[in-house]
Structure 1
């Protein structure tokens, strides 16, 4: 099940979607489609709600598009999201048709990135605060590493500072077994994988 809505405002596209898909990697699938359509996530909110005993992912984003591409991109986005979350769709098959080029990830972290894990015992979650240079593909890249490490994104706030142009994103996470992990080797593993491009930049 997916409910998808969009509205165009100048060169931006405001989208909201609700789906009953809450497994590991749901946000990465969304970020992949957005990146493949050459859109950039300026801001957004990710959440999980429960209705009548069923959990749903509820997300909203403001996307930036090329002026000549916004209307077509919004339509393609709806079609791709519907295909992606249909019961018969396989993400790998959808992915193979997109011909995605990897972003230049080293440029995201060249200017004093901040990357902080903090456990929140009152929520039973780990907060990952990421501040770095913004750019198309940043969230595609970060969410892929979280998915590969079976980290669940429960909620998130995505922001781009309009003055500095820096991404200031907060992700609220649990490990595969539903635990906090800021003080474990998993946090260091994720940090190392995300910041690895700095070593070769």
Structure 2
């Protein structure tokens, strides 16, 4: 099931979606489509809610598009999201058709990036606060590493500071076993994987 809505606002596209697909990596799949269509996520809210005994992913985003690409991108976005959440869709097949080029990841983390993991015992979740230079592909890259480590994104707030252009994002996470992990080796592993392009470039 997918409920998808979008509208144009100047050079931005505002989208909202609700789906009963809540498996690991749902946000990464969404971020991949957005990145592949040369769109950038300026801000957004990700959440999970329960209705009538069923769990749904409910997300909304403000996307930035090139003015010449706006109409086509908005149309393609709807088509790709519908394909992505089809019961018969295979994400790997969709990926193979997109011919994705990896973003220049090192540029995101050159200027004093912050990665702060905090366990929120009252919610049973780990908050990852990420602050870094923004850019198209940042969330595609970070969400892929979280997915590869079987980390579930329960909710998130995505922001881009309009004055500094820096991304200031908060992700609320759990492991595959539903556990917090800020004080475990997993947090350091994820931090090292995200920052690996900087270390590679400096060697």
Q: TM-score, normalised by structure 2?
A: 0.98
**Any idea what SS the aligned residue of 2:198 has?**
helix
CA displacement at 1:71 relative to structure 2: 1.1
Q: Counterparts of 1:188 and 1:54 in 2: how far apart (Å)?
A: 34
Aligned residue runs from structure 1 range 17-56, under 5 A = 17-56=17-56
CA displacement at 1:63 relative to structure 2: 0.1
In structure 2, what is the equivalent of residue 193 of structure 1? 193
Q: Counterparts of 1:112 and 1:173 in 2: how far apart (Å)?
A: 23
In structure 2, what is the equivalent of residue 86 of structure 1? 86
Aligned residue runs from structure 1 range 131-170, under 5 A = 131-170=131-170
Ranges in structure 2 where 5+ consecutive residues have no aligned partner: none
In structure 2, what is the equivalent of residue 11 of structure 1? 11
User: What is the total number of aligned residue pairs between the two structures?
Assistant: 201
Ranges in structure 1 where 5+ consecutive residues have no aligned partner: none
CA displacement at 1:152 relative to structure 2: 0.2
After TM superposition, what 4+ stretches of structure 1 lie above 4 angstroms from structure 2? none
Query: CA offsets, 1:51-102, max 9 Å, x none?
Result: 0100000000000000011111011000000000000000000000000000
Query: CA offsets, 1:89-127, max 9 Å, x none?
Result: 000000000000000000000000000000000000000
Q: Counterparts of 1:8 and 1:81 in 2: how far apart (Å)?
A: 17
In structure 2, what is the equivalent of residue 116 of structure 1? 116
Instruction: Name the Cα RMSD after superposition.
Output: 0.4
Query: CA offsets, 1:137-183, max 9 Å, x none?
Result: 00000000000000000000000000000000000000010000000
Q: TM-score, normalised by structure 1?
A: 0.99
Aligned residue runs from structure 1 range 57-76, under 5 A = 57-76=57-76
**Any idea what SS the aligned residue of 2:68 has?**
coil
**Any idea what SS the aligned residue of 1:123 has?**
coil
Q: Counterparts of 1:97 and 1:198 in 2: how far apart (Å)?
A: 29
**Any idea what SS the aligned residue of 1:13 has?**
strand
Q: Counterparts of 2:187 and 2:53 in 1: how far apart (Å)?
A: 31
Q: Counterparts of 2:132 and 2:57 in 1: how far apart (Å)?
A: 26
Q: Counterparts of 2:125 and 2:193 in 1: how far apart (Å)?
A: 21
CA displacement at 1:200 relative to structure 2: 2.3
